[in-house]
Amino acid sequence: MRGQAAVEYLMIFSTVLAILAAVTTGQMINPVQEAAGDALYLSQARSAADAIAGAINTVYANGKGAVKSISFRVDKTWGLQLDNSENRIRITIETSTGTQNVEDSLRYGVDNHHSLSNISPGTYTVIVEWSANDNMPENVDGNSLADDKIYIYIRAGGGQR
**How much is the pLDDT for 102?**
97
* 27 in a structural domain: no
The mean pLDDT value for 126-132 works out to 92
DSSP letter string, the chain: -HHHHHHHHHHHHHHHHHHHHHHHHHHHHHHHHHHHHHHHHHHHHHHHHHHHHHHHHHHHHH-TT-EEEEEEEESS-EEEEEETTTTEEEEEEEETTEEEEEEEE-SS--SS-EEEEEEPSEEEEEEEEE-S-TTPPPEEE-TTGGGTEEEEEE-TTTT--
> What domain range includes position 146?
32-154
If pLDDT is split at 50, 70 and 90, which confidence band does 124 have? very high
* 41 in a structural domain: yes
If pLDDT is split at 50, 70 and 90, which confidence band does 132 have? confident
* Residues 67-93 pLDDT 10s: 999 999 999 999 999 998 889 999 999
* 12 in a structural domain: no
* 135 in a structural domain: yes
How many domains is the chain partitioned into structurally? 1
* Residues 18-42 pLDDT 10s: 887 877 776 666 777 888 899 999 9
The mean pLDDT value for 123-152 works out to 89
* 19 in a structural domain: no
